Amino acid sequence: MLKDPLDTARIRRTIERRLDTLRGEITDKLGDAALVTAGLDHNADAGDLSVAADTTTADFADARRDVEELQAGRLALARLESGDYGTCVDCGQDIPPARLLAQPFAIRCIPCQARREHAAGLHRSTL
Ligand SMILES: [Zn+2]
């Protein structure tokens, strides 16, 4: 729970801006994938199809990561509304404000996040 209402307003703005950016990126990536496939005609050869498959796979993978981040951001906003924002979901301790400013979608303190990633064998996310 954040004690400072100014911090809450600032974090809400940060989250909302990031959500807007993510929505735009998702639309762009899916649009790119659609353009690639729309550009294939009946004369497309195996090489063209292979390039299109790789391109659309990459675009979809990027869009999927953005959608996951979007979901995390919406969860963060919901937690801000409910007053749970800034409390680690694992240990219940306050998440340091510096971490929240750097990672506004964070739902765990750094030690809990590190434990979780270690347990899952993950190395990619800091959310
Ligand atoms: Zn924790």
Ordered domains of the chain (ranges, CATH): 5-120 (1.20.120.910)
DSSP H helical ranges for the chain:
5-38, 46-82, 97-102, 110-120
Low-confidence spans in the chain with pLDDT less than 50: none
How far does residue 115's CA lie from ligand 1's centre (Å)? 9
Question: How many angstroms separate the CA atoms of 92 and 105, rounded?
Answer: 16
Does the pTM exceed 0.75? yes
pLDDT attached to residue 123: 58
How far CA 61 is from CA of 6, 33, 67, 107, in Å, comes to 36, 11, 10, 23
Question: How many angstroms separate the CA atoms of 1 and 73, rounded?
Answer: 16
How far does residue 56's CA lie from ligand 1's centre (Å)? 38
How far does residue 113's CA lie from ligand 1's centre (Å)? 7
